[in-house]
A and B are shown apart, each in its own frame.
Chain A
Amino acid sequence: MEIIYYLIGIPFIAGLLCLLLPDRMRTLIWGIAFDVCLVLFVVFLYLFSDPPSPVERWFLWDNLTNLTLLGIGFFGLVIATYSYKFINNFINRYYAYLLWTLAAAIGAVVSNNLILMAVFWGILAITLYLMVGLGGPDASYPAKKTFIIVGGSDSFLILGIALLWVLTGCINITDINLQIDRWLGACAFLCFICASFAKAGVMPLHTWIPEISESVPVPVIAFLPASLDKLLGIYLLARVCLNLFSYHESLWFLLRLVGAITIIGAVFLALIQHNMKKLLAYHAVSQVGYMVVGIASGNPIGICGGLFHMINNAIYKCCLFLGAGSVEKQSGSTDLDNLGGLAKNLPLTFLSFMFASFAISGIPPFNGFFSKWMIYQGLIEGSKNGEPSWILWIIMALIGSGLTLASFMKIIHAVFLGRHSDTIKTKDIKESHWTMVFPMVVLAILCLIFGVFFIRIPLFRLLIPVVPSIDIENIFTLILPLALLIAGIILGLLFYPLTVPKKRRIAEPFIGGEVQSEDMRPSGTEFYNTVKDLKFLRSMYHAAERKTLDFYEVCKSITMYFSEGFRSLHSGILGTYLTWILFGLITLLYVFLRW
């Protein structure tokens, strides 16, 4: 019991301590933050095999908690390490917010009482807002947008909790399992989903993630939207779908639909981005779609796949963002048009970035492949009831996966391969400090380990405890396609030397005999301009650029329309105001005299 208080209290107090220390003592501040993160991670590792049994009234600790907490501790540690060299402004505040975020995240995950969870959820929104605000004046608009979306969805969470309380009479997660048979139950479900979607960044509540990606320090994005918020959002989704409510066909159908649209929509938007961080941010949105589809498939293997994808996504997406941060720190830019040929300068960044790209695109033997495989299996399992919509989900997920690969080819080409750009002095660029490289390498290796030793480590250690009813038989069916795939790759490698001519000459690229100048340099982004001009997609991209597809902007313009309407009524003329009072009096008289 007591250990939970320590787990929440220690990072909180350490954060307060960091806040009180001046920026000059940066090593001390960092030391405090790092040590706390390290201790938390070690404690979570220890508790993983020996979970405490807390008082049920307030806290719960089951295997899902275990899994999520391990993730939270791990990413806290990774980001704390990475931030040592990266963060140079507002050091005390940054680490304080980081530790508070950890404290609140731990609190939200171990709460059994829903109101307690809402409190921690609210603190998370606050720390998110404050951390985004660290980006300086440029980040003030993204911070506002983020807080309105995330904090606003918290209000819906509260409404959902209140509805659930009144409907069931219970307030503890472990006591509630609502059969949705009334529309109020469905409303409560949608309220919870709204909170979880805003946190995880599922369409249409995703727009804050691309918005903050450009102006906020990279560790903040790598920590919050890319890893921690995904863990928390999907944790809540899993709680809602597995504990709080029981399966309801049409609502779960809605979840799958939203998930599938998120996969496709975000990946199309990612394809055309010119900024590395923004591109990654759209992928952070797109990947959540898989988790939602997996969890909403409603069968053990799909849920298991969704949760596995949650872990995997956090690992590789964190790695990708940290890679982007490394590139930004060393070259000073994340604009794909200006970068190029950095593989030699940043070899370790390049390698880990490439590993993570393979993982996110679902290439075996990296972890992303296995979680996607499980999600597909879940969808196929669902399709056995004969409903045609499942085929559509599978197709959409597959297309999304293909396009992900395409956009990562673009990013790898534009940043690490291709020609050097003249706008950036490539000669002086060296590999980042080891505190930045080490976390990336660890994450990249984890991508590989979770893939290669898929069955032994993630499946048996992490996932089966959470979803014990999973049918392992289904997973082993992947051995044949996997063997075929690997055979294909080996064949390709064997045939590759045959296709390359023996005699060849390497020359500078030229056009019409002239060596190409800088403005003729093909940057990676241009490959995808054709996508932008496709007939059907062109209007969609156009709408996306004008932000007419942005749910936040739509709501904003509707609200401002009404606001303007009411403002024009408030003319400032005393006579009008007195008429209102008279009008009110007459209305009241009418109501009361009728009664």
Chain B
Amino acid sequence: MDNLSLFIAIPAAVAFLIPIVSHRLKWFPDVSSSVITFILFLFSLETLNHQCIYQMGGWPAPIGIIFVLDGFSSMMLIIVNLIGFMACLFSVDYMEKIYTSKLRYYSLLLLVITGMNGVILTGDLFNMFIFLEIALIASYALVGFGCGSKDLEASFKYLVINMIATYFIFLGIALLYGRFATLNMAHIVTSIQQYGTDSVVIFAFVLFFVGFGTKAAIVPFHAWVPDAYTAAPAPVSALLAGGIIKSLGIYVLMRLTYNIFGMSQVIANLFVYFGIASIIIGALMALGQWNFKRLLAYHSISHMGYIILGFGLGSPLGILGGVFHLFNHSLFKSLLFFNSGSVEYETGNLNLRKLGRLSEKMPVTSVSSLIAFFSTSGIPPFNGFWSKLIIIIAAIQAGRPFSALWVVIGSILTLAYFAKIQRYVFFGNGDEFDESQVKDIKEVPSLMRVSLIILAVLCTIGGLLAIGGVNGVFGPVVNALAGGTNQYIGEVFGK
């Protein structure tokens, strides 16, 4: 897979093809988007353990735009395209029943995937900004897709907060361009090494931190998350939580910190403190929620905290924990959103007080949500346990036992609010539960079931893989980041 532009060209092309063709062929949006995202997923699997540079149009680096593939971007590609594929598969029946206008939906969804792939691959700051905007603008529309008043309000909040964050990013890019007269990331690194870090660079970094921190939903920049996740259709929420905040937020932030500006003790401390704040505040907020999806949204914030904390520890083991948790989180988080989607699909309801006793009626949904519950609360042998274990060990090794304690407290809180979901939705029932509601509830249609089962299986064997293969799979990621700035220039300039 040396032609990296395919990751952008294919979904973009299909996104524009769908509205043209679909008036004649009603089946086209469903089939094409699932098939295309599956192909993209296969392509992304092929990039594993592979490094290369792709020059757009054959123009070399400072003049043209380059795409850079290393361990970290390849891992992100796999995650994003896997979740994209799952979301398309899940959407087929889900969107049919609850929403209208499938062709617009799939076009926007594919544009989001285009944007994410672009952000992950690009080696040019301004180009990254463009892809960021593509993904974000498409996702604004997707969040408000239901067009109800709540949906539009959420979409508006999402839009305003993210627009402001984007302006910060834009200002940061402008500052760097003004300082070094280049937008290529590798060239910026060499310039920083040449001229040293001055206050302009630091200011640009702070702007990036705020901007990408907002996209990554770190406390206190997290406020758009609960509304947006609640309003969006379930597969879009899954994509938001499993793909967008990771690729647009965490990925870029870590790429900038480790490979462009260079990790330092101050940044490490900041990451750790922001991480802990996210873990605890997200978990506490989630505990008080009575809406299934809103609870999941706060859970996302909490788990972004774990990832930031892992990366912020700075040691290779910490990065490994962070990346591994990022991977696991996207699996169980999308699974949880799909579960909420299944519940909504069958009952038309997401209020925990009104739901109840679905475990007998919807066995697949119930069991898969149990698996997601166990993996997200770090119960062995599911995948979340292993990444949390690595983060805890890394935290203690880095001389931060109290961070490890916060991680443990956070995971107990996670356990508590997911036990609440299990109690009110699947095993017991809420206060306003009405027996007659659940009478003729069936299991969800087969395609939705398939995506639930695939993700549940991945959550289960993801943990088993970890025992032997964690270094084999995530080693390149750790190398790409722990190597720091020099590693990145080495990759780009081929030294």
Are A162 and B404 closer than 8 Å at their CB atoms?
yes
Asked whether any CB of chain B lies closer than 8 Å to the CB of A484, the reply is no
Q: Which of A123, A156, A187 contacts B401 (CB 8 A)?
A: A187
- Assembly CA distance A367 to B208 (angstroms): 70
Are A123 and B416 closer than 8 Å at their CB atoms?
no
Binds B, one of A284-292, A527-535, A561-569: A561-569
Minimum CB–CB distance for A553 against chain B, Å: 13
Are B379 and A125 closer than 8 Å at their CB atoms?
yes
Are B419 and A148 closer than 8 Å at their CB atoms?
yes
Binds B, one of A44-52, A323-331, A586-594: A586-594
Are B161 and A581 closer than 8 Å at their CB atoms?
yes
Give chain A residues whose Cβ lies under 8 Å from the Cβ of B415.
Answer: 147-148, 151-152, 155
- Assembly CA distance A159 to B401 (angstroms): 9
- Assembly CA distance A562 to B401 (angstroms): 23
- Taken residue by residue from 386 to 411, chain B's Cβ proximity to chain A (1 for < 8 Å, 0 otherwise) reads as 00110011001100010011001001
Asked whether any CB of chain A lies closer than 8 Å to the CB of B224, the reply is yes
Are A144 and B223 closer than 8 Å at their CB atoms?
no
Q: Which of B223, B412, B422, B427 contacts A580 (CB 8 A)?
A: B223
Give chain A residues whose Cβ lies under 8 Å from the Cβ of B377.
Answer: 151
Asked whether any CB of chain A lies closer than 8 Å to the CB of B56, the reply is no
Asked whether any CB of chain B lies closer than 8 Å to the CB of A560, the reply is yes
Asked whether any CB of chain A lies closer than 8 Å to the CB of B380, the reply is yes
List 15 other contacts, CB 8 Å, given A148-B419, A563-B287: A137-B357, A137-B428, A143-B419, A143-B423, A144-B423, A154-B380, A162-B404, A166-B397, A563-B284, A563-B288, A577-B223, A581-B221, A583-B220, A592-B202, A592-B205
Are A162 and B389 closer than 8 Å at their CB atoms?
yes
Asked whether any CB of chain B lies closer than 8 Å to the CB of A300, the reply is no
Known: A577-B224, A585-B206. A566 touches B393 (CB 8 A): no
Near A by CB (< 8 A), chain B positions 169-219 give 199, 202-203, 205-207, 209-210, 213-214
- Assembly CA distance A152 to B210 (angstroms): 34
Asked whether any CB of chain A lies closer than 8 Å to the CB of B374, the reply is yes
Are A584 and B210 closer than 8 Å at their CB atoms?
yes
- Residue contacts A-B, CB under 8 angstroms, 8 given: A137-B428, A137-B429, A140-B428, A162-B404, A166-B393, A583-B220, A588-B210, A593-B202
Are A559 and B413 closer than 8 Å at their CB atoms?
yes
A-side interface residues, number (CB < 8 Å): 56
Interface centre among B168, B199, B388, B408, by most chain A C-beta atoms within 10 angstroms, is B408
Are B379 and A156 closer than 8 Å at their CB atoms?
no
- Assembly CA distance A580 to B214 (angstroms): 11
Give chain B residues whose Cβ lies under 8 Å from the Cβ of A580.
Answer: 220-221, 223
Asked whether any CB of chain A lies closer than 8 Å to the CB of B385, the reply is yes
3 closest A-B pairs by beta carbon, nearest first, are A140-B428, A122-B380, A577-B223
Counting chain B residues whose Cβ lies within 8 A of the other chain, the interface size class is 35 or more
- Assembly CA distance A122 to B377 (angstroms): 11
Are B164 and A581 closer than 8 Å at their CB atoms?
yes
- Assembly CA distance A560 to B287 (angstroms): 8
Asked whether any CB of chain B lies closer than 8 Å to the CB of A184, the reply is yes
Interface centre among B356, B378, B393, B429, by most chain A C-beta atoms within 10 angstroms, is B393
Asked whether any CB of chain A lies closer than 8 Å to the CB of B353, the reply is no
Minimum CB–CB distance for A118 against chain B, Å: 6
Minimum CB–CB distance for A583 against chain B, Å: 6
Write the residues of chain B forming the contact surface with A, with a CB cutoff of 8 angstroms. 156-157, 160-161, 164-165, 168, 199, 202-203, 205-207, 209-210, 213-214, 220-221, 223-224, 226-227, 266, 270, 281, 284-285, 287-288, 356-357, 374, 377-381, 385, 388-389, 392-393, 396-397, 401, 404-405, 408, 411-413, 415-416, 419-420, 422-423, 427-429
- Assembly CA distance A207 to B223 (angstroms): 37
- Assembly CA distance A166 to B156 (angstroms): 48
Asked whether any CB of chain B lies closer than 8 Å to the CB of A390, the reply is no
Write the residues of chain A forming the contact surface with B, with a CB cutoff of 8 angstroms. 115, 118-123, 125-126, 133, 137-141, 143-144, 147-148, 151-152, 154-156, 158-159, 162-163, 165-166, 184, 187, 559-560, 562-564, 566-567, 570, 572, 574, 576-578, 580-581, 583-585, 588-589, 591-593, 595
Are A166 and B413 closer than 8 Å at their CB atoms?
no
- Assembly CA distance A595 to B197 (angstroms): 12
- Assembly CA distance A162 to B321 (angstroms): 14
- Assembly CA distance A184 to B285 (angstroms): 31
Minimum CB–CB distance for A149 against chain B, Å: 10
Give chain A residues whose Cβ lies under 8 Å from the Cβ of B385.
Answer: 119, 122, 158
Give chain A residues whose Cβ lies under 8 Å from the Cβ of B428.
Answer: 137-138, 140-141
Q: Which of A121, A559, A595 contacts B266 (CB 8 A)?
A: A595
Minimum CB–CB distance for A508 against chain B, Å: 47
Are B199 and A570 closer than 8 Å at their CB atoms?
no
- Assembly CA distance A547 to B270 (angstroms): 40
- Assembly CA distance A148 to B203 (angstroms): 44
Minimum CB–CB distance for B381 against chain A, Å: 5
Are B202 and A162 closer than 8 Å at their CB atoms?
no
Minimum CB–CB distance for B51 against chain A, Å: 32
- Assembly CA distance A147 to B221 (angstroms): 32
Chain B, Cβ-Cβ closest to A122 = B380
- Assembly CA distance A576 to B160 (angstroms): 13
Are B381 and A122 closer than 8 Å at their CB atoms?
yes
Are B288 and A574 closer than 8 Å at their CB atoms?
no
Chain A, Cβ-Cβ closest to B382 = A122
Minimum CB–CB distance for A584 against chain B, Å: 5
Are B427 and A133 closer than 8 Å at their CB atoms?
yes
Chain A, Cβ-Cβ closest to B371 = A126
- Assembly CA distance A580 to B161 (angstroms): 11
Q: Which of B199, B221, B388 contacts A593 (CB 8 A)?
A: B199
Minimum CB–CB distance for A137 against chain B, Å: 5
Minimum CB–CB distance for B197 against chain A, Å: 10
Minimum CB–CB distance for B163 against chain A, Å: 11
Give chain B residues whose Cβ lies under 8 Å from the Cβ of A584.
Answer: 210, 213, 220-221
Known: A122-B379, A140-B428, A577-B161. A567 touches B393 (CB 8 A): no
Minimum CB–CB distance for A192 against chain B, Å: 13
- Assembly CA distance A221 to B340 (angstroms): 33
Q: Which of A140, A147, A562 contacts B284 (CB 8 A)?
A: A562
Give chain A residues whose Cβ lies under 8 Å from the Cβ of B393.
Answer: 162, 165-166
- Assembly CA distance A184 to B161 (angstroms): 43
- Assembly CA distance A514 to B351 (angstroms): 59
- Assembly CA distance A178 to B442 (angstroms): 56
Q: Which of B157, B223, B392, B429 contacts A158 (CB 8 A)?
A: B392
Are A123 and B427 closer than 8 Å at their CB atoms?
no
Known: A559-B413, A585-B210. A159 touches B381 (CB 8 A): no
